[in-house]
A and B are shown apart, each in its own frame.
Chain A
Amino acid sequence: MDMRVNIAGIEWKNPVTVASGTFGSGAEFADYVDLNRLGAVTTKGVANIPWAGNPTPRVAETYGGMMNAVGLQNPGIDVFCERDIPFLRKFDTKIVVNVCGKSGQDYCEVVERLADEDVDMLEINISCPNVKEGGIAFGQNPKAAEEITKAVKKYAKQPVIMKLSPNVTSIAEMAKAVEAGGADAVSLINTITGMKIDINRKSFVLANRTGGVSGPAIHPIAVRMVYEAANAVEVPVIGMGGIMNAEDAIEMILAGASAVSVGTANFHDPGVTMKIVDGIEEYMKAQGFESVAEMVGIVK
């Protein structure tokens, strides 16, 4: 039985990675997870310079999920390259670096800087709902998404995954736009913009007022969008959104995802990714699948 998947020419040992921002660069989770058993580690978004992020509270629990407005706090690409890449390279897993920026130039600077670094893939975050400039500004307009994809592709030496926002009318159109721009893969969904109000304090729970909703509450939306995107483009789709267990991950694969990212579930059980890898393998055995590729998108 073959757990390996090929994402834009990069072979992962299994289809399971983590959603950017829920796992740091892996160091904090290494006590709970054998990083060697992940297909890839997708790192917290990194920008050209350090970002301080949003004021607190940055996080709130919601029914069947949570909201966050961390605001892409990150130490900047220099610290990332010096500290986080060497750390991750000690493990037998692929490194997917999530890149954020406030302008096209910001993204390109980081991508250019990473071109000669020992990382396997880049994931371009054009879908963060929690930063004012950049982020989602590129992720809600197909033309802007195509342009930013073209721009980063000029500098990228690694395959480029464009991370898409669910806060759009047509996810298929966005997926096609970044594919036209040269994306090697797409990942979706980022969080859905939400709001929570404290009725006793009569104010917003999050300092940022709005935040990105994640967790099992959004899983059916994510499955639908992964299905639509996978049927719209030729490039591989990395599916994410509320995956709590192996069943949720398999659902995503059957809908068309070539790999899956586990996000909020890491907060519910820091060791959950290991259970998901095992659970997918057990399902394949029980159902007689020889490879993950055989399962991808078979529900039409």
Chain B
Amino acid sequence: MTKKRENAIVLSQERIAQDICSMWMKTGAALEAKPGQFISMYTNDGSKLLPRPISICEINREESSLRVVYRVTGKNTGTEEFSRMKAGDTIPVIGPLGNGFPLEKAAGKRAFLMGGGIGVPPILELAKQMDCGVKQIIVGYRDSEIFLRDEFEQNGEVYISTEDGSVGTKGNVMDAIRENGLEADIIYACGPTPMLRAIKAYAEEKGIECWLSLEERMACGIGACLSCVCQTKEKDHHSNVNNKRICKDGPVFLSTEVEI
């Protein structure tokens, strides 16, 4: 019995695009956190019981702080409550949770670091920590409401796609790869399922090692409730069926392990 739900202290909060907020918080979770892991954030509203799994965008171990960048999903939602918090407010959290991206696999290789929509934020800490041959960051947004661009540009070659073509390549992250003639030996990606499906198909066709961060509705966040499963090719050793737990066994999986 070594872990517990603890109050993180909000250090700062700002809106960095329409519906997208950025929060730094002081929390012990920062001490062990790795890129690709997430934290469970709880609301202070007694009518909303389930934690919100939010990916970690940046880690500052020295200051024991984490940055989360999240989408406010609507009126009266948990994320709207988070967005109203100010420096000094407290927010219950557990974490870090999940496995994170295997950084070391990229050593000396040409890597794609791909993020789409609210799957963009975890790519930032990955980009900061990754030591690879060529670091190609490909991030996709809906429209000109792009975020974290400056931070990405400090950490690698950045390619942007927008669905409406207002910034960078018109289309999605796969279109950005094609338009810029990019090539990779290893891929890391986080984003909506259709995007991950396309990346998986691309990687498998070309025989590229590919790590995908999946998402699904969660309840416990720690691997007990079996809400957030994904289908796997092989029978999973824990579940004894073709299901893995995204919160506990993931959220990052080798693309060839999972059916999405």
A contact set with B: CB distance below 8 Å: 21-24, 28-34, 44, 50-53, 56-61, 63-66, 68, 70, 73, 75-76, 79, 215-216, 264-271
Taking Cβ atoms with an 8 Å cutoff, the residues of B that contact A are: 1-5, 42, 46-51, 92, 94, 216-230, 238-243, 248
Q: Is the CB of A32 within 8 A of B50?
A: no
Give the nearest-CB partner of B74 in chain A. A200
**What is the CA–CA distance of A21 and B219 in the complex, to the nearest angstrom?**
11
Contacting pair A73 B243 (CB below 8 A): yes
Other than the given A31-B1, A66-B50, A73-B226, 4 more pairs (CB < 8 A) read A24-B225, A53-B243, A267-B50, A270-B220
Contact across chains for B216 and A68 when beta carbons are under 8 A apart = no
Residue of chain A at shortest CB distance from B217: A57
Q: Are A76 and B240 in contact (CB under 8 A)?
A: yes
- Given contacts A28-B224, A59-B217, A60-B217, is CB(A75)–CB(B241) below 8 Å? yes
Nearest chain A residue, comparing its CB with the CB of B218: A59
| Contact between chains at A56 and B228 (CB < 8 Å) | yes
Q: Considering residues B5, B223, B241, which has the most beta carbons from chain A within 10 angstroms of its beta carbon?
A: B241
Contact check, B217 vs A21: say whether CB atoms are below 8 A apart: no
Chain B positions within 8 Å of A32 at CB level: 1, 3-5, 94, 222
Chain A interface main SS type: loop
- Residue of B47, B51, B230 with most partner-chain A CB within 10 A: B47
A–B pairs, 6, beta carbons within 8 Å: A32-B4, A32-B222, A56-B227, A59-B50, A60-B217, A70-B225
Taken together as a complex, chains A and B put the C-alpha atoms of A44 and B46 apart, in Å, by 26
A71 to chain B, nearest CB (A): 9
In contact, A66 and B219 (Cβ under 8 angstroms): yes
Chain A residue numbers with a CB within 8 Å of B228 are: 56, 58-59
Contacts of A33 in B (CB 8 A): 1
A71: nearest chain-B partner, CB-CB:
B226
CA distance A68 to B222 in the complex (A): 16
On whether A56 and B229 interact (CB within 8 A), knowing A32-B4, A268-B42, the answer reads: yes
A residues within 8 A CB of B221?
A: 267
Contacts of B4 in A (CB 8 A): 32, 270-271
